[in-house]
A and B are shown apart, each in its own frame.
Chain A
Amino acid sequence: MKKKNSLLTNQKYERSVQEHAKLSDEDKLIKAHLLYLQKDEVDTDGAYSFVKKQIQKGRKVFRLYEQFSRVAAILILPLLLVTIWSISKINNRPEPLNAKQQIVQSVQEVVCPVGTRSKVLLPDGSNVWLNAGTTIKYNLPFSSANRNIELHGEAFLDVAKMDNSEFKVYSNNVEVVVHGTQFNFRSYNRDDRVEVCLVEGSIDLNISVENKSIKRAKLKPGDHLSYSKDEKSTELINQNLNKYIAWRKGLLVFDDAPLLEVARELERWYGVEVEITDENLLAYRYTTTFENESIQQVVDLLELSSSMKVEYLPKSEIDSGKSKVIFKRK
């Protein structure tokens, strides 16, 4: 858009507004409706082709927003959509469609509520383990041209190798492109950090903020990349990844973890509500591993290994939707 001569431009607009203001109400109405008739002159077809091309170019990284506030008790929520015809039928409409419609992809959504973990087998043979409080979305058909997953939460992916086919995972401004790999992707909305670590294979990673790429990285096995959403900075280290992927085997691992982190993990892992009654307790750090233990056992252990009092209140006893865990001073 070019910048025109300012004075002329201003005059043009001023005149237009003034001329319109002088019209009678009826004339204004006529003018308004004559405008509408110009619609036929507008090339909507050409415009749509252009828009479609821009979208397919996928020039911006797919972004996600905090829409997933459901903690549904349903594990799988398929939103099958074959054509608009189907919807019309459901709504008891007589068919409508013009010949311009295309085959529509259906969207598969898998919700893994807090307090559980699950595993999903994707149509291409890839395995995806979902940690508590995780949602993934992908389009069907899940063909080689279209292996894309949206993630909120934490997943461990064992991606099936397919020739000439990339597998992409997006979450919170981070996009990962893989070619037959095993990696862990941790990106919970409430957390500041997004973490990706690679067990096997290779990954191309791209982080974008406001449509500008701020970091590209190629990960090799053993790499752990951590991205801070607040600081918009990344950290890449190569190390033993066991503690990051232990959750898959039902192990809850804390490695010098501050109390707040422990609290959040317990909330997700067990689906409980955690209360910390004293600010000073936040300085405390835990290093411990829980394996298939009940929340009561976990609470007992947390108390034994620290100088705090930790209490577990099952929901039946307190008449609330969730059980509670309370951290108090001794």
Chain B
Amino acid sequence: MQKIENINERTLIERFKVGDETAFELLFRFYYAGLVLYANQIILNRPDSEEIVQDFFVQLWEDRLKINSADSLKPYLFTCIKNRAFNYLKSEGIKEKVHQYIRAQVEEDILYDPDIYISEELQGEIKRAIDKLPDRCREIFIKSRFKGDSNDEIANELDISKRTVETQVSKALRILRVELKDYVGLLFLLGILKNF
């Protein structure tokens, strides 16, 4: 059973439905960041993602009586945000073909699994794996994959050769893959990796 701050989410949902602001706040704090990052993955725009999710929560509060009782709001929230993200894409003038392309990826790819954006266990695992990297290697890897800096930018900033950057990133990936092998098994057990 899903717990938020040690309270059953089902209980929080019931409280929220009858107008309990604290329940609403706890739900908000639990889901907000994950939903923003999820939306951002689809629309590739952080400020707009935040706007989408914030507007959604305002409406969620106003429509709270409409919410069905459930063990968790996760499927409902992520589906709503997904729809809003797609609407945003439409309003940005995305061609139908590209739209379908994105849709197909969102439906199947692990990158769009809500659990990735919510589960704290997974976060712990990956953090541990990254901590295992040698300092320099980790620093470069985080800049590359985490911050999205190009190899050139990193090379410039750290005053090293681009080749070094590439080597370090490859090394990091090798180590993480090894760490990940066990992890993949864990994810299977948690029922999170469906299509792997």
A interface list, Cβ under 8 A from B: 1, 3-4, 6, 9-10, 12-14, 16-17, 20-21, 25-39, 42, 44, 47-48, 50-52, 54-55, 60, 62-65, 67, 79, 81, 83-84, 87-88, 91, 93-94, 96-98, 100-102, 104-105, 107, 109, 137, 139
Nearest B-chain residue to A12, judged by Cβ: B44
Extra pairs beyond A34-B145, A36-B34, A39-B34 (18, CB < 8 Å): A9-B92, A13-B89, A13-B98, A17-B101, A20-B109, A33-B122, A36-B116, A39-B123, A44-B29, A44-B32, A47-B32, A47-B54, A48-B29, A55-B62, A64-B65, A79-B18, A104-B20, A139-B19
* Dominant secondary structure of chain B at its interface with chain A: helix
* Dominant secondary structure of chain A at its interface with chain B: helix
Whether a CB of chain A sits under 8 angstroms from the CB of B160 is no
Which among B23, B25, B61 has the greatest number of chain A C-beta atoms within 10 A? B25
The 7 closest A-B pairs by CB, nearest first: A33-B126, A42-B33, A96-B6, A39-B33, A6-B93, A54-B58, A107-B18
CB-defined contacts of B123 to chain A, threshold 8 Å = 33, 36-37, 39
> Which residues in window 87-112 of B have CB below 8 A to A?
88-89, 91-95, 98, 101-102, 105, 109-111
B interface list, Cβ under 8 A from A: 5-8, 11, 15, 18-23, 25-26, 28-29, 32-34, 36-37, 41, 44, 48, 50-51, 53-54, 57-58, 61-63, 65-66, 88-89, 91-95, 98, 101-102, 105, 109-111, 113, 116-117, 122-123, 125-127, 145-146, 173, 176-177, 180, 183-184, 187, 196
Which among A35, A81, A101 has the greatest number of chain B C-beta atoms within 10 A? A35
| Contact sample, A vs B, 24 pairs, CB 8 Å cutoff | A6-B95, A9-B93, A16-B44, A20-B109, A20-B111, A25-B196, A28-B109, A30-B126, A30-B173, A32-B111, A34-B146, A35-B117, A42-B50, A48-B29, A51-B54, A51-B61, A60-B62, A65-B65, A65-B66, A67-B66, A84-B22, A91-B11, A96-B7, A107-B18
